[in-house]
Every structure is written in C-alpha cells, then in structure tokens.
Amino acid sequence: MNLLNAFTVDVEDYYHVSAFESQVDRSQWGAYESRVEVSTRRLLRLLEQHNVRGTFFVLCWVAEHYPHLVREIHAGGHEIGSHSYWHRLIYNQTPAEFREDLVRSRDILEGLIGQRVTSYRAPSFSITNKSLWALDILIEEGFKVDSSIFPIYHDRYGIPGARRDLHQVERAGGTLWEFPVSVKEFAGWKLPVSGGGYFRLYPLNFTSASLSSINLRLNQPFVFYIHPWEIDPGQPRLSVGSRLSRFRHYVNLSRTYSKLDMLLSRFRFGSLGDVIATQSPNGQWDGVPIPTDIVSTKIVSKIAECQVSGSVNMRN
Ligand SMILES: [Zn+2]
C-alpha cells in the first residue's frame, strides 16, 4: 500500500534559524537581505508541478512583513500553521511568554487567511521533556495538531524515548494529534531521516529507502520537512554560529531542489489534515480547515478517490 505522507514547510528566512540566533539579533532581522519570498514561491511552483498540497508553518514575523506571501500559500490550497512569532526556543521561555507568542502568531495568521489556524510546529522542534507544558497550552488555545517532537537525541532538540508514530496525545485539557518528525531505526540507532539538513546530507537513495521502510514495515506515514532557504544556494553566507552549525546549514544547498523534485516523484504527499483524514474511519477531518473551494479540483478528486478506494495515493 502506498501511504500518504506529510509534506511540511517551515516558512522562515536563512537568518531566522536557531543555530545563528546568538549572533543575529532579532531587532536586526529587517536589515538582512530577504530571500524568503523568492524561495517560497519556487517551492510552491514545485509542489504545484507534483500536485502536492502541504502544511506550511509560517514564522509570523515573516507573515507580518510579507502578508501577501501567506495569502499566496493559502491560495495554492496549502494548510497554514504557526511556527511562532519570534522563533524562540520554547524551553527558554516561560509558559506565559510562550502563550503570548503563540496567540499573537495565531491571531495574525487567522486575520490574513480568514480561517482558523490549528496546527503548530515549534522553532527547532523545541518541545522537549523540559517544555511538555507547551502541549497543554496548545490545547487550551484551540490547536488540534502539533509537529514539534523529534524522537531522537540532539544537542538542541529531541525526546529520545518519544513515540515515533502519528498518534493522539492525551492531556488533562484534551487531545492533540502529534506528528513526530520521522526517525528510522538503523543498526540499533535512531536516525533522523526525514528532512532539513538530514535530507541534504544523505544520498537520496538512503533517504528513500528509509522512508519506504517507515511506510512498508511500520505501516506509518512519514513526516517530511523543509525550509525555503534550503533550496536557495545563493543565500548570503553568514559568518556566525559554530563550525558545526554552519556545516549543518550550508551542506549541499545546491542539490536540494533537484533531490526534492525526485523525492516528490517517488512518494505520495499531502498536508497534515489530509494524512489525519486517512486515519479516520469516515475519511473526514474537520480540525484543520481545508479550503476546498480554491484547491485544484485535481487534488481534491484524487484525495476523494483514495478515501473511497481505501488507498491513500495522492498521485497516479
Ligand atoms: Zn524554524
């Protein structure tokens, strides 16, 4: 069976990343050359060529500066989620600071697209054992979906023992769909395989084999993530951050676009809401509004076909 997998994008620019934040002051963000519009549009065109709809977690600072970009993403039929306002690591904030940032980002995004925003991804996957309280706040603020937990060990993020499958988190205040970022067990190790720098670093065939294994052996959809700056080899090189951080940020930028093009040809992808719908007994999901009036008829009919046939293929 060809499962429908989740395609996600964290919409931010090259100077927003956590690895550089100690030397890139937030008050100076506006002084950097902006590349996010061009890169995001390039990504949108690629997704359109493959008839793929994704979930775009938008950094709200970007949304405020380029509101038309959010509307363009939404008009392309993609889901809009929040990637916070200021890209601050959650475990470095108090619960009150996190809530303020979350609500601000949600309200701005909802104002731009005229629909509820119910999906969230933390900056640098920073929901860890130190910040699980963020899940409660997400539920209290009406969020239905989270994709902030990375079930690996890493110096900046991760919960090594966390569940790796798509599941519903039960908290005192309610439930939340959790899309952990995909990890593959390999020779006793848990390897992050599903996007970002890992996608740029590994050969495409290794990534493909890992993702196929998650689909076929675990019968689980995988969660792929990427940033617009990862398909922009011409971005200004910043002499900030550690040598390791710069390696992680700049490795193989020139090859990402073509690899992504091939990956999109090999697997079936949809938004988080589309993937949840395939898990529901009635094939319905009403937690994330799907703008069916503006999604291309081709995509909608393919999803309908898949749900009727029990398959979850988005593409022929
Ligand atoms: Zn980010």
Residue closest to 122 by CA, chosen among 160, 89, 80, 168: 89
Residue closest to 217 by CA, chosen among 241, 177, 182: 182
Asked if the structure places residue 315 within a domain, the reply is no
Asked if the structure places residue 92 within a domain, the reply is yes
Asked if the structure places residue 65 within a domain, the reply is yes
CA–centroid distance, 305 to ligand 1, in Å, is 34
CA–centroid distance, 10 to ligand 1, in Å, is 6
CA–centroid distance, 229 to ligand 1, in Å, is 11
CA–centroid distance, 225 to ligand 1, in Å, is 10
Residue 295 confidence (pLDDT): 36
Domain containing 164 equals: 4-309
CA–centroid distance, 246 to ligand 1, in Å, is 15
CA–centroid distance, 301 to ligand 1, in Å, is 32
CA–centroid distance, 60 to ligand 1, in Å, is 11
CA–centroid distance, 24 to ligand 1, in Å, is 14
CA–centroid distance, 308 to ligand 1, in Å, is 36
Residue 1 confidence (pLDDT): 52
Strands (E), 172-219: 174-178, 183-186, 189-192
CA–centroid distance, 316 to ligand 1, in Å, is 32
CA–centroid distance, 126 to ligand 1, in Å, is 10
CA–centroid distance, 226 to ligand 1, in Å, is 10
pLDDT digits (tens, 9 = 90+) for 263-274: 999 999 999 999
The pLDDT confidence band at residue 283, using thresholds 50, 70 and 90, is low
Share of the chain above pLDDT 70, in %: 88
Cβ neighbours of residue 206 closer than 8 Å, sequence gap 6 or more: 193
Give me the DSSP letters along 20-37: GTTTS-GGGGGGSPP-HH
Distance CA 209, CA 17 (A): 29
Distance CA 296, CA 292 (A): 8
CA–centroid distance, 127 to ligand 1, in Å, is 13
pLDDT digits (tens, 9 = 90+) for 108-159: 999 999 999 999 999 999 999 999 999 999 999 999 999 999 988 777 788 8
Asked if the structure places residue 40 within a domain, the reply is yes
Domain count across the chain = 1
Asked if the structure places residue 245 within a domain, the reply is yes
pLDDT digits (tens, 9 = 90+) for 242-264: 888 888 887 888 899 999 999 99
Residue 312 has pLDDT above 90, yes or no: no
Asked if the structure places residue 314 within a domain, the reply is no
Share of the chain above pLDDT 90, in %: 68
Asked if the structure places residue 316 within a domain, the reply is no
CA–centroid distance, 307 to ligand 1, in Å, is 32
CA–centroid distance, 278 to ligand 1, in Å, is 27
Query: How confident is the model over 63-79, as a mean pLDDT?
Result: 97
CA–centroid distance, 66 to ligand 1, in Å, is 17
CA–centroid distance, 22 to ligand 1, in Å, is 15
Asked if the structure places residue 256 within a domain, the reply is yes
Burial profile 212-246: b = 16 or more Cβ within 10 angstroms, e = fewer: ebbbeeeebbbbbbbbbbbbbeebeebebbeeebb
CA–centroid distance, 297 to ligand 1, in Å, is 31
Distance CA 302, CA 4 (A): 12
Residue holding tokens 């040809």? 265
Q: pTM higher than 0.85 for the full model? A: yes
Here the CATH number for the domain that contains residue 236 is 3.20.20.370
The pLDDT confidence band at residue 240, using thresholds 50, 70 and 90, is confident
Which amino acid is residue 104, in one-letter code? Answer: R
